[in-house]
Structure 1
Amino acid sequence: MKEILRADQLKLKRSSILIIVLLIPILILTYELVNFTYRAELVDKQAELFHAGSMWMYLLYDNSLLFGLGFPLAATLAASIIANIEHQADGWKQLLAFPVSRSKVYLSKFIWLTMSLLISLTIFLIGMILLGKALEFEESVPLGLLAGDSYGMLIATLPFTAFQLWLSMTIKNQAFPILIGAICTIMGLFLAAVQMTRWFPLAYPIQSSTVILQYEGIGYNTDLPVYLAINLMLGIALLCMGVIHFVKRDNQ
């Protein structure tokens, strides 16, 4: 397994996955910096209107929608890049001609996809802390909430990530998996907006922030543990299904 992971690492060094890893957190943090700097009065009024306990909580609430849309798209593109390395020049035939376990090949791709997304989330976490310091938020850094918003997103999107990797590794034309990922991301936005459909797993990334806007204002998201538990189980199930399907397939 170590050899397969090392081989995939060498392949990814020549890919554009680092751009995807950096792009989403940088874009969101840049938006928030501009928003809190040039619309400071409006931001203060909204934070007061929504009864935010601190500017940190308002920051978490404000970027939850963008992050809930942006991170699944990052997972879609990252999965496509990882799979497309093998699709190019019929790499699957060459790879699977070696005496290696197909399940290990698949799991190696998933591990590197997860690690890439973890790097993106870590950059986002560090960026939020630095942003709050730069904006001189008076309250102490709520590290637990910030970490929950960042790393909780990985679990909230786990079924989506596993499904996108499955699609990307199964279909050679990567335009189709990317299109499906974009459609599912937009669907999640609309599903999260309706009370009857907000419990669909596609709607979870939009609602996976540690804070949420309630009737009385911005408060803690008590549904988050349920979202994470459901998506963890569903993500593991989809990963297992993807592995089984990949092992039973004929050579690409």
Structure 2
Amino acid sequence: MRKILWAEQLKLKRSSLLIIVLLVPLLILSYELVNFTYRAEFVEKQAEMFGAASMWMYLLYDNSLLFGLGFPLAATLTASVIANIEHQANGWKQTLSMPVSRGKIYVSKFMWLTVSLFLSVTIFLIGMVFLGKVLGFGGPIPWSLLIGDCYGMLIAVLPMMAFQFWLSMTIKNQAFSILIGAISAIMGLFLAAAQTTRWFPLAYPSQASTVVLQYEGLGFNQDFSAFLVINLLLVIALMFIGSIHFAKQNVQ
């Protein structure tokens, strides 16, 4: 398995993967820097209106929708880049001719997808801490909330990652899988807005923040752990189905 992962790393070095990994966290952090700098008075009034215990909590709430939309899109594009390396070069025959099971090849590529997005959320975590310090947020850094927001988002998007990876691996036309991913990410925002549909898996990323707006103001997300458990179960099922389908598919 180590040799397969190393071979995948060599292929990914020639791709645009790093750009996608950096793009979403840097864009959101740039927006928040501009927002907290040029709209400081409005942001402070809104944080007070929402009853935020600290500016850290308001920052987490403010970027939750942006990250809930942007990170699924990043997962979609990353899955497409990883799969498209083989599709573009017509390299499936060579890759599958190796004395390794198709299941291991499928899992190794998904592992690189997960590692790439793990790096993306880690950059976002470091960026939020740096942003809070630059803007002079008072009080101690809420590490548990920041870590929960970042890595909780990674877990929340795992089922979508698995599904998009499955599409990207089995369908050569990457425009189709990217379109499905974009529609799914946007649909998730609308599904999360209604009580009757907020438990649909597509709605989890936009609700994966540790801080949510409640009737009495900003507070801790009571459903956070439930979202994580459901997503872990879903990704196991989707990876199992996807790897079996990939193993049986006739690849050109």
| TM-score, normalised with respect to structure 1 | 0.99
Cα shift at 1:14: 0.6
Which string of whole-angstrom CA distances, capped at 9 and with x for unpartnered residues, describes residues 12-59 of structure 1? Answer: 011000000000000000000000000000000000000001000000
Cα shift at 1:98: 2.0
Cα shift at 1:248: 1.2
- Which residue number in structure 1 is paired with residue 153 of structure 2? 153
- Which residue number in structure 1 is paired with residue 74 of structure 2? 74
- Which residue number in structure 2 is paired with residue 102 of structure 1? 102
Report matched runs for 1:1-252 at 5 Å.
1-252=1-252
Give secondary structure in 1 for the equivalent of 2:15. coil
Q: Determine the C-alpha separation between the residues in 1 that align with 2:178 and 2:139.
A: 41
Q: Counterpart amino acid of 2:242?
A: G
Moved over 6 A (4+): none
Which string of whole-angstrom CA distances, capped at 9 and with x for unpartnered residues, describes residues 86-128 of structure 1? Answer: 0012110111122211111000100000000000000000000
Q: Identity over aligned residues, as a percent?
A: 73
Q: Determine the C-alpha separation between the residues in 1 that align with 2:54 and 2:138.
A: 9
Q: Determine the C-alpha separation between the residues in 1 that align with 2:16 and 2:90.
A: 19
Q: Counterpart amino acid of 1:158?
A: L
Q: Determine the C-alpha separation between the residues in 1 that align with 2:6 and 2:205.
A: 31
Q: Counterpart amino acid of 2:172?
A: K
Q: Determine the C-alpha separation between the residues in 2 that align with 1:60 and 1:133.
A: 14
Q: Determine the C-alpha separation between the residues in 2 that align with 1:77 and 1:13.
A: 16
Q: Counterpart amino acid of 1:12?
A: L
Q: How many corresponding residue pairs?
A: 252
Cα shift at 1:174: 0.3
Cα shift at 1:208: 0.3
RMSD over aligned CA atoms reads: 0.6
Q: Counterpart amino acid of 1:132?
A: G
Q: Counterpart amino acid of 1:237?
A: A
Q: Determine the C-alpha separation between the residues in 2 that align with 1:251 and 1:70.
A: 31
Q: Determine the C-alpha separation between the residues in 1 that align with 2:19 and 2:151.
A: 20
Q: Determine the C-alpha separation between the residues in 1 that align with 2:233 and 2:223.
A: 16
Q: Determine the C-alpha separation between the residues in 1 that align with 2:89 and 2:209.
A: 41
| TM-score, normalised with respect to structure 2 | 0.99
Note the residue ranges of structure 2 that are not aligned, 5 or more in a row: none
Which string of whole-angstrom CA distances, capped at 9 and with x for unpartnered residues, describes residues 183-235 of structure 1? Answer: 00010010001111011110000000000000000000000111111111001
